[in-house]
Amino acid sequence: MHKKDPLLEEITALLAGAEDGDDPARLERTLTDGYARAFTLEAERSRLQKEIGRLTATVGDDDAAARRRLASLIRQVKRREGDLGTLRALLRRLRSRYSTAVRALS
């Protein structure tokens, strides 16, 4: 994810705010957007892993271009995994915050 990711900025801002001012509808929309992003990252990671598998099966020791491509794909998978881990951690915190806000309305 980009350093200035609007979704991450939104989640961070919501988590930094006072709990007593939480808008459950806003929290829910942000959670939905976050889950959609997580699914996208998982799909990208899966696609990259499949490409790695195909390339690994065909790359030879003398194929420098294919080995560079393979290294690039591996770096991309690692980035997606890191992004996904960060996002999931934030979403867990936001989900807890949402549950608290909903309970407060009851």
State pLDDT tens for residues 54-72. 999 888 778 888 989 999 9
- Residue tagged 């881990």 (tokens): 85
What secondary structure letter does DSSP report for 59? Answer: -
- The share of the chain scoring above pLDDT 70, in percent, equals 97
Whole-number Å distance between alpha carbons of 104 and 100: 6
Domain with 31, as residue range(s), is: 22-105
Q: Does 10 reside within a domain?
A: no
Please identify which residue in the block is written with the tokens 């591996």. 74
Domain membership of residue 90 (yes or no) is yes
Q: Flag whether 99 is in a domain.
A: yes
Q: Is residue 80 part of a domain?
A: yes
**Domain total of the chain:** 1
Percentage of the chain surpassing pLDDT 90? 76
CA torsion sign, 4 to 27 to 46 to 78? positive
Q: What is the mean pLDDT of residues 19-47?
A: 96
